[in-house]
Structure 1
Amino acid sequence: MRRAIDSLTYWFSEHPSIIGFRWSASQSWGSTWSFLFSSISTYVILSLFLHLTLVLFNRRRPVPLGPIPAVHSLIMALISVTIFAGTLISTIAEIRDTRWIWSRSKTPLQWLLCFPLGTRPTGRVFFWSYMFYLSRFIHVLRTFFSILRRRKLTFFRVFHHSILICMSFLWLEFSQSFQVMAILLTTFVHSIVYGYRFWVAIGLPAACFPFVAHCQILLLGCNLVCHVGVLKLHFSKGGCNGIGAWVFNSVMNGALLLLFLNFYVNMHLKKRRVMDGDSSSHSRSDVIDGKKDT
């Protein structure tokens, strides 16, 4: 058991590629601003093109995808678990190795929320932040699956996925504070959500309530609470690194939460209208049947 733990620790936090990671245009694929803008633009254009193509050809039936969505959910669940474990183990190692520098002024929780000024995007936690950034490009494939299944292409879905790519890029580019906590929360929730999607995709029973929606609201709520902690530490501890990117991150998280709550409320209102319509139609049919009997 001890050997297995040591091996896991080595591959998740002590490997030379992890310790020696450096976010730079020459060493990290996808680390330029031009790549960021072109990739998001390509994603939006492809989504619109695929949606309009199906509309123009008047295809009403879903395109059969077979096991592809289930395989994607399984892959994303495994990726999320891996990044969560790697980030957690690397964070523990990073705190162990550097705590002597800030032990009198900070606690581990404060370090998770507020990087010291002058922090550079190198080392363990930024390696896993880079892995999270790359995983966002696999994550957006769900948009194309949704379009092919003839579900409505919503602004919220495209905006949400685009902002996740942009925010994860800014985390690395500006060594933004709070990103470690954000990655831990996001990958933890996504491992559950994608595990649930795989569970349902292979034919097992689904939850009796909107499970994924509740998880998303919980994640966005936790993120906003953590943002309040970052703001408090920034003014009480002499500043947090990457605060400009953090402001953008906070605004986008707030916008996502509002959009999601709006989507969630409209979904419930629509469901309620359908249920009320069914109940009223049943009552009318009962009255008609009663008249026929008389």
Structure 2
Amino acid sequence: MMDAVFQTLNYYLSEHPSIVNFRWSHSQSWGSTWSFLFSSIVFYLGFCAFVHLFLAILLRRGRVVPLGPIPAVHSLSMALISVTIFAGILLSTAAEIQETRWFWRRSKTPFQWLLCFPLGTRPSGRVFFWSYMYYLSRFLHMFRTFFTILQLRKLAFFQLFNNSISIFMSFLWLEFSQSFQVLAILLATLAYSVVYGYRFWTAIGLPSACFPFVVNCHMVLLGCNLACHVGVLLLHFMKGGCNGIGAWLFNSVLNGAILLLFLNFYVKMHLENNKKNKKKRHHPVITEEEMEKFKRED
């Protein structure tokens, strides 16, 4: 029975004709044009600024907009989507390696292929189908920004920048058949599965971790991405070139900017926590409002 279940999942996640025959095309793939990419990012930034300004005018400072179960439903949906993409690209990667290894086996191992696509790779087939699904899921991820604006009344620059760059980079992966994207999606969807599962866990009232769980997960993800980028650079010069290296270089610059911003936020968070801990030694009582704010920030 388990074998039959696995075969069914394998068919729908890696062998379905829509997946096997996928091709990234400006005329056939929704959201695949440069004009759509830039207009969607501009609309996202503009609409977030409008909502924040509108609430600042309409509501007095400190008041929040109750959202009920919407954040919990969103977190559960994103966790399930992330798990599906992770499983899909994992099975698709195994199938692609098995079917195309003859083409590059003399120059690369399977792990090297994950980091460095052979020159001439086209954005078609299984792994690019799931790369496209990941690209589309970034638009759903954007809703977290509106929850932050409505619940915390904050318009965080890092969140806006990170979400915009995430969409831009996932578009580049498809447009230029960029190397490293398979490992990047595997790492990202694994991290998002855990993060959104945790957010759903806390949103329904279950106990939260005693440390900033989400922030630390993002820190681990950025560290893994940094190590993989070094691997791509080494393989590019040692193995005769990697496909989409120009897009990868631009991607690396954007990832570096995100890493610096996140490190700045991470250091400030720890400094603020140290100050709070010192105050708690003198005033150990924590109000319900402070506890709720800490949970939302995580």
TM-score range, shorter chain: over 0.9
- % same residue: 70
* Cα deviation, residue 103, structure 1: 1.4
Correspondence 1:147-226 to 2 at 5 A? 147-226=149-228
Structure 1 residues 241 and 56, CA, compared in 2 at 3 Å: closer, same or farther?
A: same
* Cα deviation, residue 279, structure 1: 3.9
Structure 1 match to 2:276: 274
TM-score calculated relative to the size of structure 1 = 0.94
Correspondence 1:104-115 to 2 at 5 A? 104-115=106-117
CA distance in 2: counterparts of 1:150 and 1:223, whole angstroms: 30
> 2:166 is aligned with what amino acid?
L
> 1:19 is aligned with what amino acid?
V
Q: For 1:162, what is the secondary structure of its paired residue? A: helix
Per-residue CA shift, 1:157-183, capped at 9, x if unaligned?
A: 000000000000000000000000000
CA RMSD of the aligned region, Å? 1.2
Structure 2 match to 1:47: 48
Aligned residues, how many?
282
TM-score calculated relative to the size of structure 2 = 0.92
* Cα deviation, residue 152, structure 1: 2.1
Q: For 1:149, what is the secondary structure of its paired residue? A: helix
Structure 2 match to 1:80: 82
Q: Which has the larger radius of gyration?
A: 1
CA distance in 2: counterparts of 1:26 and 1:138, whole angstroms: 22
The runs of 5 or more residues in structure 1 that have no matched partner are 283-294
CA distance in 1: counterparts of 2:213 and 2:188, whole angstroms: 16
Structure 1 match to 2:29: 28
Q: Does residue 139 of structure 1 match 2:148?
A: no
Structure 2 contact 178–248 (Cα < 8 Å) conserved:
yes
CA distance in 2: counterparts of 1:95 and 1:275, whole angstroms: 51
CA distance in 2: counterparts of 1:70 and 1:161, whole angstroms: 20
Structure 1 match to 2:19: 18
CA distance in 2: counterparts of 1:89 and 1:168, whole angstroms: 20
* Cα deviation, residue 240, structure 1: 0.3
> 1:41 is aligned with what amino acid?
V
Correspondence 1:259-270 to 2 at 5 A? 259-270=261-272
The runs of 5 or more residues in structure 2 that have no matched partner are 285-298
* Cα deviation, residue 245, structure 1: 0.7
* Cα deviation, residue 278, structure 1: 4.6
Correspondence 1:46-125 to 2 at 5 A? 46-59=47-60, 60-125=62-127
Q: Does residue 2 of structure 1 match 2:11?
A: no
Structure 2 contact 176–244 (Cα < 8 Å) conserved:
yes
Structure 2 match to 1:286: none
CA distance in 2: counterparts of 1:24 and 1:76, whole angstroms: 26
CA distance in 1: counterparts of 2:277 and 2:198, whole angstroms: 26
CA distance in 1: counterparts of 2:75 and 2:3, whole angstroms: 32
Q: For 1:48, what is the secondary structure of its paired residue? A: helix
Structure 2 contact 52–153 (Cα < 8 Å) conserved:
no
Query: Where does structure 1 differ by over 3 angstroms across 4 or more consecutive aligned residues?
Result: 277-282
* Cα deviation, residue 281, structure 1: 6.4
Q: For 2:54, what is the secondary structure of its paired residue? A: helix
CA distance in 2: counterparts of 1:194 and 1:121, whole angstroms: 29
